[in-house]
Amino acid sequence: MQRLSEIKALLAERGLSPRKRFGQNFLHDHNLLRRLVDASNVGPGDLVLEVGPGTGTLTEAILERGGDVIAVEIDDGLADLMASRFGDRITLVRGDCLGRGRSLSGSVVEAIGGRPFRLLANLPYQIASPLMVELLFEDHGCIGQCVTIQNEVADRLLAAPGSSAWGPLSILVQCSSDVERIATLGPGCFWPPPKVTSAMVRITPQRRPALDLRSFATFITKLFSTRRKQLGGVVGIACVRAAGIEPTQRCERLDIDSLERLYRAVRDTEAC
């Protein structure tokens, strides 16, 4: 794996430097990088989607395990660097991993080619949540995610009902997946150091909910915009009681099963 001095040298040779616009903070702690790869369980022949590979430190570790890497890089300079370093050892996709409507870009879908794959990446913070949710919402064949993200986002992914972090992201991920925190990372693990703490998490799909996730997401997002109001006044007393919930309850106190029942009760009422 690359040392920090090697990362800086690779960039300097090409006149490149970390770009805040793309959320470029290079993880250089080898122990943590290995921990992330170990948690992914990637092995020979496994397809791996890496978004924001930077100078290829994590890419090297994945290739050492025998993984087939699709590296998606939006920065032209870093994409050229990746092409020069790895050549045909990886599939390089130049551009944004997300297209219109925050769906997976056509170039990435084409590169995946219908194969099962894992997302394994130190994600740029600004795309982390939409990308993770997209891979859970749509049947792209993602069988797991091991990612480095902002610690605040990890807290939301792992939140429990009634906590301040409990909200749409927690619910939408947990309704179909198991979420685990692998490690917490201080700013010094990166160059340049970000102003926030980071976390590594593993998301493992467990079941496909018997409901329309996008419709459920719209419902949950709207419901939590009034999270402190009593549910009877938000969706109607009849709907709340039909879901077996007290009208005086607030959505921020409900677990996933209760929220799914409430969604179905509201949906059935609107269909009448």
Beta strands in the chain (DSSP E): 26-27, 47-51, 68-73, 91-94, 117-122, 142-150, 177-185, 190-191, 198-205
Q: What is the per-residue pLDDT for 272?
A: 39
pLDDT tens digit sequence for 186-219 = 999 999 999 999 999 999 998 766 788 889 999 9
What is the separation of C-alpha 153 from the centre of its chain, rounded to a whole number of angstroms?
A: 9
Res. 137: pLDDT tops 90: no
Q: Are 70 and 121 in contact (CB under 8 A)?
A: no
Would you list the domain boundaries of the chain? 4-205, 213-271
Q: Do domains 4-205 and 213-271 have the same CATH topology?
A: no
**Which residue, among 186, 52, 96, 177, has the nearest Cα to 169 in the 3D structure?**
177
Architecture per CATH, domain 213-271, reads as Orthogonal Bundle (1.10)
Res. 74: pLDDT tops 60: yes
What's the average model confidence in pLDDT over 117-121?
A: 98
CATH superfamily of 4-205: Vaccinia Virus protein VP39 (3.40.50.150)
